[in-house]
Structures are given as structure tokens and as C-alpha cells.
Structure 1
Amino acid sequence: MCVCPLWQALSLWVIFSVHVVSEEGDYKSLQNFSQQCSNGQLDKALLPLQGISLFLTNDSGVMEHKNSTYIVDYSIDEDIPALLDVFSGRLPPLNISCIVDMQNHLNFSWDTSGVPEHAQYSVSYLLCRDGEKVLESPKERLPSPVFSTVLGNQTHQDHIILQLNVSYPGVWYIQTQKWEILTVEKLDPPQFINTTIQSDQLYLKWDLPKSKHTKNPSCFRYELRINDEVRYLSKKLSHSEPNIDQTRTYKIQMRVKMLSFPCRGSIYWSDWTSVLNLGPLILQPDFHIGVMVTIALGLPMSLLAILLLCKFRPIHQD
């Protein structure tokens, strides 16, 4: 008997259950991209869903719809793509990542390991607010599996939906996926406002990170790197490190992300801060080792030479 984890069993159950829904109904719900902000199927299940539509060339050379369905986001388990490949026909769903940074840069990328090298890509996206469309982008062809744009001053959206078209001879594949923006927000690196070494303690203080969704200090998690040691901090804006060696230099970096619980934060860490160097407070004598060796060996030899000169110096008699 096959025994599998509960979450995996649940994911497979969702895959099979959503697939038996009428393909015609799924195709209609996915067909009009402009209306996807109100498509509850994309975030209806306990696990994230992707909308899939597949078109294949028939025996007459005409591209026709083969099937459409909603499937679980397969990135949760590497064993699921093979199963989904049966449903999609020839091409497994692509693992798409979405990132929105604090400067409103939107970035999409996807894995192409199962896609022919000559495949062509095009994308369009929707910005949604409370189930209503705020913005729809025109379809754009891409030379590579990466798409970047600037959202401008669009600040009143809570979800983003991508429609990715993949085509190569005989196959046209459409994948539609929805994200809650706060879960893909990439914060800026923390900003230090005070960094000092006092006595034998290193003291750090930083500003509250700027997020578009919260100002609650308890929602942020930090990774602090001091030389080769890493510490994880949360729910605070300062940190002190005891037992500091005042003759050493300390290299400090930090990054931040929003906590997934209880704040429903992002999956992405910020970039690291630039390296901050602190110390040393006490300078050690800087003797060059070569000079020290020269002195250690040269002084006895010089003394010996003087003694020899004195011993064998000619004695002049009047």
C-alpha cells in the first residue's frame, strides 16, 4: 500500500477533482483574460491553482483546443509534473516566479527545462483590486523567459494575474496564474541608523523597513551576518552583540523579509546591505615580520663583527 504525506495526498486529490470538472467550462472561464480578476477558480482551493489551456494541431493542420483545466501549483512537489504532463498533453506547467519590489518594478521569470529551445513566448498581465480590473497590459512578445516592467503609480491593487503563452510547431500552451501582491513583495535592504562599538559591545540600530502593506514591526524577520556568523532576529529594530574583541574588524550585513505568519508576508528576502566595517578600537603594533627577522638576526651579527674588530685590531707602538 502506498503511503504519502497528507499534504501530498491532498494535492493529488485536488488535481484529480479539478480535472474531472467539465473541460468546456474551464475553457470558457479561462478564455476571456480581461475577466480573470473575478475568476474565483484561480484562488478557490486550499492550494494555489494555475489555469491551463492546450491547443494542438490536428491531422488537417488546424490548431484546435484540446483541453483546459485548473491544476495545483506543481512547485510544491517535484514528483507532480510527470502526472500533470498526462493532463496537459505534451508540456508540463511552467514554474513561474513573480516579484514586485519597492520601486514598483514587476519581474516574471519561468523555468524552461521542459520546453523546446525554439519555443516562443508572449505575456500579458492584469492588476486587480477587490475582484475588479485596475490595469490590463497589452500582449508582449519576449525573446527569453524573463519579463520586467515598471508599474508606475498603480498603488491600489491587491492581486496580479499573468497570462503566459508558449508556442512552438504544433503546440500552443496558455498558462494563467494569480498572486496576492503582498506575498511576492521584495523589500529594500534595511537602513542602519546607528552602528557603534562601546566597551566590549557592538550595538546596531536600523529603521523600520518600508512595506506597501504594513508598518507593524512584528511583521519583519531579519538575517544578520557578522563576519562568518549568522543570526535571525524578529520583532525588533536593534541588536547588541556582547564580548567584542576591540582589536578585530567586524564585517556586518543584514537583509529582511516579511513573516508569513501571522502577517501573510512575502516569500522573498531583500538584497543584502552593503558591507559595513566596524573596528578595531585598539590598534595593535604594526611590526613588519621582515623587519623583525632582520633585527633579530642582524643585531647579534653586528655585535660579533664589532668584537672581532676589537680583538684583531693592530696594536701600534710608539
Structure 2
Amino acid sequence: MNLNKIDFNLLKVFVTVYQEKSLKRAAERLFVTTPAVSQNIKKLKEALNEELFVLSHRQFVPTPYSDDLYAKVFPLLEGIGLALEETKIFDPSTLQQSFNLDVSPHLQVWLGTSLFKTFHEQSPRSTLVLHTITSSTLTGLCDGSIDAAIHFEAENLPPEIVAIPLIQLEFMIAMRRDHPFKKSEAYIDELLEYSFGHIDLAYLDPNKHSRLEDLLKEAGINIHMAMRTTSVAGLISTIMNTDIIGPCFPPTIETVSQHVRLVRVLDMLDLTTIQLYLFIHQKNLSSPKYKWLTEIISDAVKVDSK
């Protein structure tokens, strides 16, 4: 392949289409029209004289040639981008791009608004994309389709992903205000007569389970987990309208504190707090753009968790 004949902008479009598997989504990321993306892919195909994608179930599936090309081109483009960033004074107000963050559902209830305010004030022409963290988040962090993730787990990570500690959040039990249990503090045995609800957090590591369940199981204590969900809003609504109780963090409950109260567990020292992390690719650690993103995320978490 003679790179002297290849427009590097075509390679940038190729990388985005490869990651998104969609011309439309690639166009949205690049702030261009879908026909423009299609035309660029056609130009690159003709320049290389190779088939790059095939349409299957409305997705652009890369060919083996594209897999090999992406593996070689993506690191080079990333390196060029970082080098260019480091040679100029970084000003977020000049950016015009999307920032894709995958966030634990526990955090979206309270973190999204303040994070967006700061983000929009400092980079008004950019777009903040907040999605719920999934089992494919680590893959997205590795291939660059996801800029950062915010979550609680920090085990079994790929070597290229770095976990940056943000803050520790207090673990408490949430229940409706007129719940039959009236105390503000409790030993776990006092709560076991009630059914529990739980937010599924096993996104990055499928072997992860509820810390509460694991600790009680180790102690030979049975717990009735009556509800499992990935929806914090769904769990809170159920807590507000039934006798079910569930582990939550104070910032999550703040907006519904007139209906829900928190009970501190006195004898679960291993669950007193849980560490929150920001996950990014190690190649971005020295990038001014990612340093800025890390800073505004860290500030938003610290402000909202007070």
C-alpha cells in the first residue's frame, strides 16, 4: 500500500465507520453527512482496490482486509492526534466533537446534570454522550469508540486500561420513609426479615456479584433478593411503594429524600464505602484533552457526592 496516494482524512473516516459499523453513526461522530461518509469510503476502496465493508443485517461488517488495516492505522492516527494536541495550547471552547462516556446507572441519576453543565459551559460546541455501562464498555475503551467510563470495579482490566480513583461513596440501605423499620442505624440481622432489591453492577467483570450478597454468603447468612434490575429509577420507585429495601448511595437518594430514607449498617465494615473509578486508555493519560475531561468529571463527582 502506497500511503503517498492516500488522503489521511479517508483513513480517519474509515476508522470511524469501522468502530461504529454504521455510516449514519459515523457521520454523526464526524459532524458530516451520511452521503459524504459513503463517498469517502468509496474513494478509499478504489484507492486500495480492496473491499472494506459488506452490508449485513443493516450493519457495515468489516472484511478481513479491513480488520488488518484498522489494526495498523488506528494506533497511527491516535498517535498523530495526541502529538498535535500536545503542540498547541488546549482550549476546550474550540472543540467541536462528541465525548462518549459509559456510566454506572447508580451515577446517572445524580451525576449527569452537573457534569453536563460544566462540560457545556467549557465546550459549548461539543456533545456529551452518556450511556449506561455495558459488557462491551472495555472493548469500546480499547478501540477508542468510548472516551471514558465511570464505575466501581477495577479488577480484571485489560493492561491498556487505567483505573483512576475518584472518590469513595458511603454504602447505606434505602427504604421508604414510612417503612415498618423505624431506626436510622441497624445491624444487618435486623434487616434480613425484609426483601431486598439490587442494582446489577456486573458490567465490566461478569464474575462480579453483589458485594452484600457475597459477604453474607461467606458468613452463612441467607438474604432474599426479591428484585434485580439495571434501572436505578425502577428500584427506587419500587422502594418508594413497597417494603422492599436496597443498597444505595446518598447522592442517589437525595432527589427523592422526601419519600426515601437511608439506614446506616453498623456491622458490615467491608461495605462501609465503595471506591469509584474513572477508566481511560493509558495512551490518553498525557493528552491535554483527556486531562481536561478527567478534571471536570472528578470535580462533578466530588461536588455532587457531598
> Normalized against structure 2, the TM-score is what?
0.23
Structure of higher CA gyration radius: 1
- Greater share of helix residues, 1 or 2? 2
> Normalized against structure 1, the TM-score is what?
0.23
